[in-house]
Amino acid sequence: MVDLETIRKKAKEIVSREDVKHLIGWRKGTFGYRVTPYWVEAPEDAEELVYSPLCNTNLATYLTLAEKLPLPKGQEPDRRKTALLVRGCDSRAVVQLLTERGVDREQVVLLGLPCRGVVDLRKLKDSYPEDNEVADAEWKEDKIVLNVSGEKKEIPREEVLDDHCLVCRYPNPVEADETLGEKVEPWAEESHPGVEELENASFDKRWDFWEKEFERCIRCYACRNACPMCYCEDCILDRLNPTWIYRSNNYSENTAFHIARAFHLVGRCVSCGACERVCPAGIPLGKINQKLVKEVREKYEFEPGTDPEGVPFQASYNPQDQEDFIL
């Protein structure tokens, strides 16, 4: 693994570079287990960077979220690069963005970090309640050491790790300019927890399950905003003419919203789990995404975000694609 000083030193070096505008990383939040994304603009800011199992935002999101304001006449656009700390899933998101031409490789500097999985705050808070004190955490072999007000607690990793991280097969960056620290041995086999269980249920049972889940949705669109792959400037959810999905908050529109959101991630979802972690209603969005990831992998042998030279899944075809469902 990699120690914090190495990251800060490297970050300083990168930010001091002439051609780099800023570096996006994480820093401690204002209370409890919170960690927030952080823009390092000057070399001295790098001292605030942290890297721990609590860093659960996918930073690749911020590459495409940056606002592009119209420039005053005669002013040159800022063409400096954005540097980014990337773990396995973040780097897969960046690679997927590269294949979609959402991001220009020349415009990003990727600083790779091996990762042993991030915690699911809900799971963590259940067994180790959060207080106002800013906490700290680190990986230690197969454990996570939680440091709350000077008191250290060792927690087995399986207990608090996010569901997506438990089955993560890409703990090391797929694409990076430089990877710090030693590589981590992947710990998981290909599996999609929770998907088989629903697949084996009857149609009615499945609908009962999802109806209850979707009913709780408050349509805050946090899942869309946290997703590194949702970066359309003109999102169908915001569009009024035609109105694809009404704004009313009922099970019909909520279902339509969730189907549309999931479908737009077919062959693009990199399984980082950011959507599920930010959902205030606790809807298991990962279960929908994982189903599609599984189908795409099994039926088309395609895995998004692994090949920077690849073609996007939905923009390509194979003449031998399955057609057993066609009448």
Contact positions vs other proteins (CB under 8 A): 198-199, 203-211, 236, 244, 246, 248, 250-253, 255-256, 258-260, 262-263, 266-267, 288, 291-292, 295-296, 299-300, 313-315, 317, 319, 321-323, 325-327
Which amino acid is present at 62? Y
Closest CB to other proteins among 31 and 244? Answer: 244
Closest CB to other proteins among 44 and 190? Answer: 190
Structure tokens at 251: 């099970």
Closest CB to other proteins among 75 and 202? Answer: 202
CB of 303 to other proteins, least distance (A): 15
Structure tokens at 247: 């704004």
CA 192 to chain centre: 17
Closest CB to other proteins among 18 and 323? Answer: 323
CB of 246 to other proteins, least distance (A): 7
CB of 198 to other proteins, least distance (A): 7
Rounded CA separation 61/173 (Å)? 16
CB of 317 to other proteins, least distance (A): 4
Structure tokens at 22: 């800023």
Closest CB to other proteins among 37 and 310? Answer: 310
DSSP states of 25-61 as a string? EEEE-SSTT-EEEEEE-SGGGGGGEE-STT--S-TTH
Burial (Cβ within 10 Å: 0-12, 13-18, ≥19) of residue 233: exposed
Q: Label residues 54-84 b or e (16+ Cβ within 10 Å = b).
A: bbbbbbbbebbeeeeeeeeeeeeeeeebbbb
Rounded CA separation 250/264 (Å)? 21
Which amino acid is present at 111? L
CA distances from 149 to 47, 135, 137, 146, 153 (A): 21, 7, 11, 10, 11
CB of 293 to other proteins, least distance (A): 11
Rounded CA separation 118/271 (Å)? 13
CB of 23 to other proteins, least distance (A): 37
CB of 65 to other proteins, least distance (A): 24
Closest CA to 83 of 103, 68, 102, 101: 103
Instruction: List the 151-156 sheet strands across, edge first.
Output: 136-140, 143-148, 151-156
Closest CB to other proteins among 262 and 272? Answer: 262
Closest CB to other proteins among 80 and 299? Answer: 299
Closest CB to other proteins among 279 and 296? Answer: 296
